[in-house]
Amino acid sequence: VAGEWLDFPVPAAALRHGGNEIVFAAAADPEPPAGQDVVWKVEYDCQKVMTYPAQLPWRRLFKECKWLEEVRDGCLVLADRDSAPGSIPHLAYPWNADSTGSNVVEVRLKVISSTAPEAVCVRIADNSHVEMITFEPGRVGLSFAGMTADFPAGDDFHTYRIVSCGKDVQVYADGKLLLDGAGKFTTSVEDQSRWLPLAHGLQEWNRRMVYFGSASEAGQGEAHWQFMRFRDSGNSLVLKDFVLSVDYNAPKQ
């Protein structure tokens, strides 16, 4: 190791004439021991509005519309005030979740208003399956699974934990199971009828991301968010560059 560079010997037999494909992979993070608190991989405390470029890899992938994003009374106010095509104000993060492991998203929010279920939501996509957890003043739902439960999401702040693994997804509210979607996390990320109209040429994010805000173009909604945090069973590294050097021995004269 030299500085931030990692050096690995490459046997000559591994190379071939013509094009060579080099694949980088990171080992999956181990599951936390039973009874141990979740170690969050990403945490946003909603104490300030994220700004570019420091916010990266968080992105806003929606067209210009009427919306509000500000910090007020120690929480993030995120409001969709438009019904035009592409009006889905949100924050999205490229999630490296693996559907074979356990993935956890936890948010704390209070719903202020919602004219459509997906106007206040959390969307999770793990490169295999996708689900939309919807929040309305009087209920919480799993949109694609077709499940809802009465819950006073608009009366105060509540903490919601979303746990997914394989084809199972559960939603807990303040520590109690609210929606048991065992066997219901089955909507494929390849089903483009479930894709959102993400801007800036990043439609591929529909396959793998954590997203919160509004996902309803026609509807409008507002929620106050106190935190968003998550962990996943995958692993990721930032690869800035790589170099393959070849040393040749001078031929004998």
Which residues are bridge partners to 228 per DSSP?
Answer: 44, 107
Residue 76 lies in a domain: yes
Residue 24 lies in a domain: no
Residue 245 lies in a domain: no
Global confidence as pTM: 0.82
Residue 143 lies in a domain: yes
pLDDT in tens, the chain (253 residues): 445 777 878 888 888 888 888 877 766 555 555 555 678 999 999 999 999 999 999 999 999 999 999 999 999 999 999 999 999 999 999 998 999 999 999 999 999 999 999 999 999 999 999 999 999 999 999 999 999 999 999 999 999 999 999 999 999 999 999 999 999 999 999 999 999 999 999 999 999 999 999 999 999 999 999 999 999 987 666 666 778 777 777 666 6
**Alpha carbon distance, N-terminus to C-terminus of the chain:** 36
- Count the domains in the chain: 1
Residue 243 lies in a domain: no
| Cα–Cα distance for residue pair 168/30, rounded to 1 Å | 20
For residue 164, the domain's CATH number is 2.60.120.200
Q: How far is CA 125 from CA 169, 191, 247, in A?
A: 12, 12, 44
Tell me which residue range forms the domain holding 159. Answer: 41-231
Contact 178, 149 (CB under 8 A): yes
Residue 240 lies in a domain: no
Residue 104 lies in a domain: yes
Residue 201's CB is within 10 A of a number of other CB atoms, namely 8
Beta strands in 115-188 (DSSP E): 121-126, 130-136, 139-142, 147-150, 158-165, 168-173, 176-181
